[in-house]
Structure formats: structure tokens, C-alpha cells
Amino acid sequence: MKRTLLLGTLCLAGITFGQTSDPTQNSSGAEARASAHTSAKHDVGSGAEDIGKGTAKGVGSAAKGTGKAAGDLVTLHPINAATDLGKGAAKTGKNVGVGAVKGTGKILKGTGKAIKHLF
């Protein structure tokens, strides 16, 4: 539970950090999105966002699988309940894993840019 709260707090902090406005950019986001160059803080914030999205999708998958399993147990279908619970767990692991890997990669990329900028 503590890990989940810590992860959520870090994700929100990273998103907030990554979304701070840069006064040198114009208000049109079209040019910024077309550019291949991103700032270090944008990469870190984007990585935190990916981790948060993966976690949220994972929680949704777990809830969906658990709900279906509970419904199957009530209607006396224990095999279907076990199958739904297993599917929900597998999708949860996939979503959290993919989000964590993508997010960590972006955070490391942003951290590398920040360190490079110092030297």
C-alpha cells in the first residue's frame, strides 16, 4: 500500500514538474509537438505520466477481472471465475510492466539530458 502511494505521489510530482510552462515557448503547441527536441523536464514528466497511465490501466484491469470473477462466483461458475481473475491479473501485470518500462526509459533519457546540460 505504501509503495502504491509513493509511486502515485512521484508520478503526480513528475507530471507537475514536466508540465511547467516555459516562457520562451509560444502559446501554439503545434510547433512544439512537431519538434523532435524535448527538454529534460519534459522527458521526466512524460516518463512519470507513462508510469501513472500504466498503473491506472493495471488497476482498471484488476478491478474488471475481480468484478467478473465475483459475478461468476455468485452464479456458481467457479471455473469462469478463476479464468476471469487470472486474465485480470495478467493484464494488470502487462499494463504496469509496460508503463514502468516506458516511463523509466523516458525518465533516464531526461536525467541524461539534464546531466549533459550541466557539463
Give me the tens of pLDDT residue by residue for the chain, a chain 119 residues long. Answer: 556 555 566 555 555 555 555 555 555 555 445 456 788 989 999 999 999 999 999 999 999 999 999 999 999 999 999 999 999 999 999 999 999 999 999 999 999 998 988 88
Predicted TM-score (pTM) of this structure: 0.65
The residues, any chain, with a CB within 8 Å of residue 85's CB and separated by 6 or more, are 65, 66, 68, 69
Q: 101 with 55: CB under 8 angstroms?
A: no
pLDDT value for 85: 93
